[in-house]
Protein backbone atom coordinates (compact mmCIF):
# COMPACT_ATOMS: atom_id res chain seq x y z
CA UNK A 1 0.00 0.00 0.00
CA UNK A 2 1.45 3.38 -0.98
CA UNK A 3 1.45 6.21 1.48
CA UNK A 4 -0.76 9.16 0.53
CA UNK A 5 0.86 12.57 0.38
CA UNK A 6 -0.30 14.90 3.12
CA UNK A 7 -0.89 18.54 2.26
CA UNK A 8 -1.03 21.61 4.47
CA UNK A 9 -3.21 24.65 3.84
CA UNK A 10 -0.38 26.64 2.28
CA UNK A 11 0.32 23.94 -0.29
CA UNK A 12 -3.33 23.55 -1.23
CA UNK A 13 -3.97 27.29 -1.56
CA UNK A 14 -0.77 27.68 -3.60
CA UNK A 15 -2.14 25.14 -6.08
CA UNK A 16 -5.49 26.86 -6.41
CA UNK A 17 -6.51 29.54 -8.86
CA UNK A 18 -8.99 31.97 -7.23
CA UNK A 19 -9.97 33.24 -10.70
CA UNK A 20 -10.76 29.81 -12.16
CA UNK A 21 -14.39 29.23 -13.15
CA UNK A 22 -16.47 27.10 -10.82
CA UNK A 23 -16.85 23.54 -12.12
CA UNK A 24 -20.42 22.59 -13.04
CA UNK A 25 -20.43 19.94 -10.33
CA UNK A 26 -20.10 22.65 -7.66
CA UNK A 27 -22.45 25.28 -9.11
CA UNK A 28 -25.60 23.53 -7.87
CA UNK A 29 -24.03 22.99 -4.44
CA UNK A 30 -23.06 26.68 -4.17
CA UNK A 31 -26.63 27.73 -4.96
CA UNK A 32 -28.15 25.43 -2.34
CA UNK A 33 -29.34 27.07 0.88
CA UNK A 34 -26.95 26.85 3.80
CA UNK A 35 -27.70 23.94 6.07
CA UNK A 36 -25.68 24.94 9.12
CA UNK A 37 -23.30 27.32 10.80
CA UNK A 38 -20.24 25.36 9.66
CA UNK A 39 -20.99 26.20 6.03
CA UNK A 40 -21.46 29.89 6.82
CA UNK A 41 -18.17 29.93 8.72
CA UNK A 42 -16.44 28.20 5.82
CA UNK A 43 -17.67 30.92 3.43
CA UNK A 44 -16.47 33.61 5.84
CA UNK A 45 -13.04 31.94 6.01
CA UNK A 46 -12.84 31.76 2.22
CA UNK A 47 -13.80 35.43 1.97
CA UNK A 48 -11.11 36.41 4.49
CA UNK A 49 -8.41 34.35 2.74
CA UNK A 50 -9.38 35.98 -0.56
CA UNK A 51 -9.24 39.41 1.10
CA UNK A 52 -5.77 38.60 2.49
CA UNK A 53 -4.51 37.61 -0.96
CA UNK A 54 -5.89 40.85 -2.38
CA UNK A 55 -4.42 42.97 0.44
CA UNK A 56 -0.96 41.45 0.16
CA UNK A 57 -1.13 41.15 -3.65
CA UNK A 58 0.52 37.75 -3.30
CA UNK A 59 -0.87 34.37 -2.31
CA UNK A 60 2.44 33.43 -0.66
CA UNK A 61 2.68 36.62 1.39
CA UNK A 62 -0.97 36.31 2.42
CA UNK A 63 -0.46 32.74 3.61
CA UNK A 64 2.65 33.75 5.55
CA UNK A 65 0.72 36.60 7.17
CA UNK A 66 -2.18 34.29 8.07
CA UNK A 67 0.26 32.10 10.02
CA UNK A 68 2.08 34.88 11.94
CA UNK A 69 1.26 36.32 15.33
CA UNK A 70 -0.44 39.66 14.63
CA UNK A 71 -0.33 42.39 17.32
CA UNK A 72 -3.59 43.93 16.01
CA UNK A 73 -5.23 40.55 16.73
CA UNK A 74 -3.94 40.44 20.32
CA UNK A 75 -0.92 38.42 19.16
CA UNK A 76 -3.08 35.66 17.72
CA UNK A 77 -2.48 33.99 14.36
CA UNK A 78 -5.21 34.74 11.81
CA UNK A 79 -5.29 31.08 10.75
CA UNK A 80 -6.34 30.17 14.30
CA UNK A 81 -9.30 32.59 14.10
CA UNK A 82 -10.75 31.40 10.77
CA UNK A 83 -13.04 28.88 12.47
CA UNK A 84 -15.55 31.43 13.76
CA UNK A 85 -17.51 34.30 12.25
CA UNK A 86 -16.20 36.62 14.98
CA UNK A 87 -12.61 35.60 14.23
CA UNK A 88 -13.15 36.20 10.52
CA UNK A 89 -14.68 39.59 11.29
CA UNK A 90 -11.63 40.58 13.36
CA UNK A 91 -9.25 39.47 10.60
CA UNK A 92 -11.27 41.35 7.96
CA UNK A 93 -11.03 44.58 10.00
CA UNK A 94 -7.24 44.27 10.20
CA UNK A 95 -7.02 43.48 6.49
CA UNK A 96 -9.10 46.56 5.63
CA UNK A 97 -6.63 48.67 7.60
CA UNK A 98 -3.74 47.07 5.72
CA UNK A 99 -5.48 47.77 2.41
CA UNK A 100 -5.66 51.43 3.47
CA UNK A 101 -1.94 51.49 4.29
CA UNK A 102 -2.26 51.16 8.09
CA UNK A 103 0.17 48.42 9.18
CA UNK A 104 -0.09 49.09 12.93
What are the start-end ranges of the H helices in 1-104? 9-15, 24-31, 37-56, 59-66, 78-81, 85-99
CA distance 50 to 45: 9
| Confidence at residue 7, expressed as pLDDT on a 0 to 100 scale | 74
Question: Model confidence over 22-63: pLDDT tens digits?
Answer: 777 677 766 766 666 555 568 889 999 999 999 999 999 999
Confidence at residue 21, expressed as pLDDT on a 0 to 100 scale: 80
Percent of the chain, pLDDT > 70? 85
Per-residue pLDDT at 69 exceeds 80: yes
Q: Residue 33: its pLDDT value, please?
A: 65
Amino acid sequence: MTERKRYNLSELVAQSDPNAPTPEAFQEWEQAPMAGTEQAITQHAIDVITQAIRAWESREQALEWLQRLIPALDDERPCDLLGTQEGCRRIAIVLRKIEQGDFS
